Amino acid sequence: MKTIFAKSVPGRKGVWPEEPEGQITDFIPENLLRENLPALPEQSELDVVRHFTLLSRRNFGVDSNFYPLGSCTMKYNPKFMEDIANLSGFTDLHPLVPQLRGAGHYTQGALEVLYETEKLLCEITGMDAFTLQPLAGAHGELTGVMLMAAYHNYKGNKKTKIIVPDSAHGTNPASAAIAGYEVVSIESRDGIIDPQALKDALDDEVAGLMMTCPNTLGLFERHLREIVELVHSVDGLLYYDGANLNAILGKMRVGDVGFDVVHLNLHKTFGTPHGGGGPGSGPVGVNKKLEPFLPISRVVKLEDGQFFLDYDYPFSIGYIAPFYGNFGVILKAYAYILRLGREGLIRVSENAVLAANYLRKKLEDYLHIPYNRTCAHAMHEFVASAVKQAQKGVRALDIAKALLDKGHHAPTIYFPLIVKECLMIEPTETESKETLDQFVDDLIEILKIAEENPEAIQEAPVNTPVKRLDEVKAAREMILKEQDM
Amino acid sequence: MPYIPHTHGQQQEMLSTIGVASIDDLFTDIAPELRPKSFDLPEGRSEMQVRSHLEKLAAKNNTNLTTFLGAGFYDHYIPSAIKAILSRSEFYTAYTPYQPEASQGTLQAIFEYQTAMCRLMDMDYANASLYDGGTAIYEAIMMAVRATKRKKIIVSECLSPIYRCMLDCYTTNLHLDLVTVPHKQGLTDIQALMDQIDEHTAAVVVQNPNFFGCINDFTSLFAKARENGALSIISVYALMQSVLKTPGQMGADIAVAEGQSLGLPLSFGGPYLGIMTCKGKLIRQMPGRIVGKTVDKDGREGYVLTLQAREQHIRRQKATSNICSNQSLCALQSLVYVSLLGPEGLKRTAHACIELAHYAAQKLTSINGITILNDQPFANEFTIRLPVSAYAIIDKLVPQGYVPGFPLGRYYQGMENCLLIACTEKRTKQDIGILVELMRGALE
Ligand SMILES: Cc1ncc(COP(=O)(O)O)c(C=O)c1O
């Protein structure tokens, strides 16, 4: 499809405000102005609406397709949440208003949303305090690791390393490195953390361990207790990557079992849409040990029931975000939690785990399921491997593309890195049995064709707006924008 | 339960397929001693009840204030067509476009966004977005540190104090040498910035218009940086960039911006948009997603995520950044905004804001005791000095429904009497007239 730049018609009128009188040079000298107007599209309102409507049709989304993208929790995004985030009482609010001493009572509703959301997340996770400021999961990780660093600095601990299991998401080691730590990777055994490998890596310079539980294979970390004790024994801290919280709502609280710091992905567990790559929201929860270091500002409730922003925390790490987080996303998650309530959230995890185990069972005769003896069951997702198929030349990538032809989004592939030809499948609790069964039937059919006629699968996809794309060419030619006219 | 489709019968069927008797049996891997001590949450509510609760909370916020508050975040008009497009669930319920054949909509939109940002800034490359304007400056600094292998960062005090606080936070444990060059009566002290540049300098960081509203041409500063092997980083006001001299023209190496002014609501601080653009030579230092154009098997044009060897999912601790999810939908929003307005519409909008601000400055400084902070040209935001504390004025005007501006004393010592005033096209000359009268009254 032509780009909107290629469709541009010089002189065509878009959404133009009235022409002000006079010239900009009446106010600003010419040498401070740009020489030419930027070469942006010149299109009518309809042109623009049609262009983007057509573009949208070239996308899969949760509303139109099953989207079992592992580790991403692509559940249904309830529509009323969008309406709530669009209420003008929220969208029109300037973030600096509550900082104008005394003007805080003009934003009481918004501050209450923040305060109440923090409280709810504390109860859900068993942590003592939350900050909603981190703007995505990885941003939460960075915040969390900086909190760990602040704790160690405060105590005078000389800590230089953070341990990350080899099954961890790439953001974990990246966040630890960016916060200034050396990253020590430990090898998993049977798909979960090996306490012996941890012991071998553990010394007084270890600041902490970053852990995802259930991990990225969808397996519960069965040595959790021992791991927590080991890390705490060197005054290390336990970090919980909450990307997989959808598995354990009401079944385990990370604060209760000894984690010191946790980030959540509101855009996964709490039903806020992913937006084609964001915006997300990555709140961070801590226990009492780390609370003094939380970013400022913090929302506090006064005795008279009023809310205000407190900046007076001498040990705070400071400003992690310009304001209070991705407020529009936080609003949606708050509405989601209120809507579901206690029972609803418990049912979320129960049904997410049910769906994952159902799919795993239905597929176990067709795909290799690694580490299926480590735990009694999978959690909210599971990992399958196309190693058998790969021997015939059909790789995980090919299977993924063939699924697109059937109208399903593909699972996450080639992650986690420790499983070859990996397909990571996360169905979520909101998909019906009919959808799951259809997916199973389609996948089994693909695997049969893969045996008989591998070329057909290697050709996939053929039903999508474009066929398989040449990624090598993209990286080599680096056409990263429309050429200038 | 809301949003869970299974009937009781179906659940039983699924359980028996799995070979367990109950849902609880699926959770046996979580040992009893790991179970929650409490899970004391409110009962669920109907959609209607939740909506009504949130409508009440929304109504507790006063959004009927007439505000002249800016400080980097502006109340511009947002055309309705934006919401119509952003409500397409094919866009907003998709994930990051990992499967390009199923994500051409998102990918082409990002490619167009990258193009639009390059053209707005006159730069070579843009990424698919960062979280916000502040994290964009931080990422720019880290690019410079990697590219130059140096540690000294020279920051103008006229860079938003909010962003400078963020930089302090992010660099705490990184052993960088952050040097802040003081402002001179709200002016960016270009000579002092130049004097700081030496062979250890990784980057010099400035803002245009600066936090006090003043516009500069940083060409000579950036040339000096280049001569010394340092990079120039500039943070700009995205919408105003449609009329102001561009980062590219000035010779900047990295140009970043908070993109909120391009069609995003204020929304109490987010979601916003971190715009990041750079010169060609820096592309491999760029953080985050980048979309490139390619062809499919049949030679048809298409788009993919590219140059991924920079990113965390490939490079892990050696990645250029830890960013994964960004602000993709906000990037789309800004693309739709610039497409709807086009070059002429953007210019007219900027012009309208500039004209109103100059009108306001002229009227306000006609009040006895109010002066403008300096003579430097400004766009739609300027600083005045009052004979009293800015807070005293705010305290008097806000209850009357007017937020006269941002009190600079909040971040700058010795500027307790200074007020930063922004005008957007949503303000009118009448609004300004009333502001002037209220101000006059408050000073009497
Ligand atoms: C396990 C895990 N950790 C962290 C992240 C990062 O989250 P975000 O993309 O919001 O930064 C993800 C997201 O893909 C994830 O799956």
DSSP per-residue string spanning A383-403: EEE-HHHHHTT--HHHHHHHH
What angle in degrees, to the nearest 10, is found between the helix axes of A327-363 and A433-452?
Answer: 60
**How many angstroms does the Cα of residue A287 sit away from the middle of ligand 1?**
22
C-alpha to C-alpha distance for B1 and A47, rounded to whole angstroms = 42
Q: Is A241 in the pocket of ligand 1 (CB under 6 A)?
A: yes
Tell if the CB–CB gap between A319 and B10 is shorter than 8 Å: no
Residue B62: its pLDDT value, please?
A: 87
Residue A21: its pLDDT value, please?
A: 86
**Residue A398, token pair as written in the block:** 């090919």
CA atoms within 13 A on the CB side of B106: 33
A362-417: pLDDT as tens digits:
999 999 999 999 999 999 999 999 999 999 999 999 999 999 999 999 999 999 99
Provide the β-strand partners of residue A310: A298
Bond prior to A314 in cis (omega within 30° of 0): no
**Residue B380, token pair as written in the block:** 């739609």
Residue B432: its pLDDT value, please?
A: 98
Residue A104 scores a pLDDT above 80: no
Smallest CA-to-CA distance from B95 within B82, B84, B107 is with: B107
Q: Say which of B243, B258, B306 has its CB closest to residue A34.
A: B243
**Residue A346, token pair as written in the block:** 């418990």
C-alpha to C-alpha distance for A46 and B173, rounded to whole angstroms = 51
**Residue A74, token pair as written in the block:** 């692509």
The residue assigned the tokens 């009448």 is B430
Residue B390: its pLDDT value, please?
A: 97
Domains assigned to chain B: 8-44 (no CATH), 66-76+343-443 (3.90.1150.10), 80-337 (3.40.640.10)
Q: The domain at A349-475 falls in which architecture? A: Alpha-Beta Complex (3.90)
Do the domains at A80-339 and A349-475 have one common CATH topology?
Answer: no
A53-93: pLDDT as tens digits:
999 999 999 999 999 999 999 999 999 999 999 999 999 99
Residue A33 scores a pLDDT above 70: yes
A300-316: pLDDT as tens digits:
999 999 999 999 999 99
Residue B52: its pLDDT value, please?
A: 98
A311-338: pLDDT as tens digits:
999 999 999 999 999 999 999 999 999 9
Report DSSP state, residue A409: P
**Stretch A9-38: mean pLDDT:** 94
Residue A484 scores a pLDDT above 80: no
Residue in chain B closest to A105 (alpha carbons) equals B61
Mutate to test the pocket of ligand 1, among A171, A210, A246, A270 (most ligand atoms within 8 A of CB): A171
Q: Which amino acid is present at B72?
A: G
C-alpha to C-alpha distance for A246 and A470, rounded to whole angstroms = 35
**How many angstroms does the Cα of residue B111 sit away from the middle of ligand 1?**
23
The ipTM (two decimal places) reads: 0.98
Residue B63: its pLDDT value, please?
A: 84
**How many angstroms does the Cα of residue A264 sit away from the middle of ligand 1?**
9
Residue A485 scores a pLDDT above 70: no
What angle in degrees, to the nearest 10, is found between the helix axes of B390-397 and B429-443?
Answer: 120
Diameter of chain A measured on Cα atoms: 77
CA atoms within 13 A on the CB side of A227: 28
Domain boundaries along the sequence of chain A: 1-39, 80-339, 349-475
3-state secondary structure of B327: coil
Contacts of B110 in chain A (CB under 8 A): 277
As assigned by CATH, the class of the A80-339 domain is: alpha beta
Residue B1: its pLDDT value, please?
A: 83
With contact defined as beta carbons under 8 Å apart, do A416 and A216 qualify?
Answer: yes
pLDDT band at A18 (very low <50, low <70, confident <90, very high): confident
Residue A101: its pLDDT value, please?
A: 77
With contact defined as beta carbons under 8 Å apart, do B293 and B111 qualify?
Answer: yes
Interface A:B, Cβ pairs < 8 A: 701
Name the minimum distance, in Å, from the CA of B193 to any CA of chain A: 19
Residue A35 scores a pLDDT above 90: yes
Residue A368: its pLDDT value, please?
A: 98
Exposure of B358 by Cβ count < 10 A (0-12 exposed, 13-18 middle, 19+ buried)?
Answer: buried
**Stretch A263-283: mean pLDDT:** 98
Chain B window 334-373: which residues touch A at a Cβ cutoff of 8 Å? 336, 338-352, 354-355, 358
DSSP per-residue string spanning A335-394: HHHHHHHHHHHHHHHHHHHHHHHHHHHHHTTTSB-TTTTTSSS--S-EEEE-HHHHHTT-
C-alpha to C-alpha distance for B435 and A17, rounded to whole angstroms = 24
Interface membership of A177 toward B (CB under 8 Å): yes
Bond prior to A214 in cis (omega within 30° of 0): yes
**How many angstroms does the Cα of residue A171 sit away from the middle of ligand 1?**
7
Residue B203: its pLDDT value, please?
A: 98
Tell if the CB–CB gap between A48 and B173 is shorter than 8 Å: no
Contacts of B99 in chain A (CB under 8 A): 60, 400-401, 404, 409-410
Q: Radius of gyration of chain B from Cα atoms?
A: 25
Low-confidence ranges of chain B (pLDDT < 50): none
Residue A398: its pLDDT value, please?
A: 98
Other CB atoms closer than 10 Å to residue B77's CB: what's the count?
12
